[in-house]
């Protein structure tokens, strides 16, 4: 199994630091990830947040590409419904070329109402816009002139250059519901299910692949089996170090989904996270992956919001040294 580190470059007000320092520290974690043997590093996108959740993925991917040589560079996810597909095709192609063909392009329809309102896109159109984006990307990366007439995008006789390295980056589709699973299977895309996606939805994806002429054995799953992994020598000491940061992480996501945030850190469901020595973390990953079947990669947040970088670096180092070899 392969492992990827997920970074979001957040800088919460509670732990606010100079932005330049947060960016430099987090970039250094991506470089460390390559040196430690992680297979990939993933960035995710959001807009108009008070903590600066990374809004622009491709410049940061290019910065990581310039500092590394082997590690795969993924998006988990680009909010495809909020991005013009021709610009997305161009940005992805340039990033893929700069990285020597290391880009893994994950797409998502998005969910946060504020983003759709501010950027002038109807949330109800998110699925259809993502579908059209997938079709346009494939045509754009051919390097040949093409036209497209869809419900949301249309253009005549356009040519996108440059084209990506090799045959273009692998494309992943993220989501947690049946619609996302069917969409990924129908288009022959790889699937990155959301945290908590039930096994039957993953099985629906595989069934849809087969129904549309795609061999499911050729399409592994990248899974987010926990929002956070924190490897430490003592589970209780580690939990005290990380819990305020995980409380912020989970409360913010709940509020974005329209739910109340957790009243206090004592309400944080500890079982959702993997915190403890390497053997405990490894066993936790095995238990969570097993119901999903053939999982080729597990990704997790490498630095919880506001966590001091040295604590994140220590945890990732212990994971690389003591957890990864257990899956060799």
Kindly report the CATH number assigned to the domain that includes residue 173: 3.20.20.30
Count of domains observed in the chain: 1
pTM of the model: 0.96
Tell whether 243 is covered by a domain.
Answer: no
Q: Is residue 253 part of a domain?
A: no
Asked if the structure places residue 242 within a domain, the reply is no
Q: H or E stretch including 132?
A: helix 126-140
Q: What is the pLDDT tens value at each position of the chain, 328 positions in all? A: 999 999 999 999 999 999 999 999 999 999 999 999 999 999 999 999 999 999 999 999 999 999 999 999 999 999 999 999 999 999 999 999 999 999 999 999 999 999 999 999 999 999 999 999 999 999 999 999 999 999 999 999 999 999 999 889 999 999 999 999 999 999 999 999 999 999 999 999 999 999 999 999 999 899 999 999 999 999 999 999 999 999 999 999 999 998 988 999 999 999 999 999 999 999 999 999 999 998 999 999 999 999 999 999 999 999 999 999 999 8
Residue 41: the pLDDT is 98
Pick left, alpha or beta for residue 169 (phi over 0 → left; psi -120 to 50 → alpha; otherwise beta): beta
Alpha-carbon span 115 to 124, nearest angstrom: 13
User: By C-alpha distance, which of 4, 13, 30 is closest to 309?
Assistant: 30
Q: Does any domain span residue 77?
A: yes
Q: Is residue 241 part of a domain?
A: no
- The H or E element spanning position 297 is strand 295-301
Note every long-range contact of 203-212, with CB atoms under 8 Å and residues 24 or more positions apart, other chains counting.
203/293, 204/178, 205/181, 206/293, 208/181, 208/182, 208/184, 209/185, 211/185, 212/185, 212/186, 212/188
Q: Please state, in angstroms and rounded to a whole number, the distance separating the CA atoms of residues 273 and 239.
A: 10
Cβ atoms of 84 and 55 closer than 8 Å: no
Q: What angle do CA 91, 37, 318 make, to 5 degrees?
A: 120
Hey, how many other C-beta atoms are within 10 angstroms of the C-beta on 34?
A: 19
- 93 and 164 in contact (C-beta within 8 Å)? yes
Q: Tell me the residue range of the domain where 213 lies.
A: 2-230+273-327
- Does some domain include residue 248? no
Confirm whether 20 is domain-assigned: yes
- What pLDDT sits at residue 298? 97
268 domain-assigned? no
- pLDDT for the residue 220: 85
Q: What secondary structure, in 3-state letters, does 37-56 show?
A: CCCEEEECCCCCCCCCCCCC
pLDDT attached to residue 328: 80
């Amino acid at each position: 199994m392969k492992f990827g580190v997920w970074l979001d470059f957040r800088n919460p007000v509670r732990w606010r630091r100079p932005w330049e320092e947060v960016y430099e520290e987090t970039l250094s974690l991506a470089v460390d990830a390559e040196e430690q043997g992680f297979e990939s590093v993933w960035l995710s996108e959001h807009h108009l947040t008070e903590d600066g959740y990374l809004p622009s993925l491709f410049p940061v991917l290019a910065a990581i590409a310039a500092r590394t040589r082997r590690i795969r560079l993924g998006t988990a996810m680009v909010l495809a419904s909020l991005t013009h597909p021709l610009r997305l095709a161009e940005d992805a192609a340039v990033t893929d070329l700069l990285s020597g063909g290391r880009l893994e392009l994950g797409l998502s329809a998005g969910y946060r109402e504020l983003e759709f309102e501010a950027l002038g896109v109807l949330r109800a159109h998110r699925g259809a816009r993502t579908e059209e984006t997938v079709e346009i990307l494939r045509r754009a990366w051919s390097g040949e002139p093409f036209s497209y007439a869809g419900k949301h995008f249309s253009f005549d006789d356009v040519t996108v250059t440059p084209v990506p390295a090799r045959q273009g980056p692998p494309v992943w589709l993220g989501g947690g519901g049946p619609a996302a699973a069917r969409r990924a299977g129908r288009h022959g895309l790889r699937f990155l299910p959301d945290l908590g996606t039930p096994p039957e939805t993953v099985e629906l994806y595989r069934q849809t692949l087969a129904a549309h002429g795609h061999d499911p054995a050729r399409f592994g799953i990248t899974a987010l089996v926990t929002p956070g992994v924190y490897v430490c020598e003592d589970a209780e000491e580690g939990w005290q170090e990380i819990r305020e940061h995980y409380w912020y992480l989970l409360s913010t996501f709940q509020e974005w989904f329209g739910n109340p945030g957790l009243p206090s850190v004592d309400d944080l469901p500890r079982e959702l996270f993997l915190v403890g020595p390497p053997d405990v973390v490894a066993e936790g990953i095995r238990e969570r992956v097993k119901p999903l079947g053939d999982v080729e990669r597990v990704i997790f947040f490498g630095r919880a919001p506001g966590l001091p970088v040295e604590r994140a670096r220590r945890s990732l180092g212990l994971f690389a040294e003591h957890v990864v070899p257990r899956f060799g």
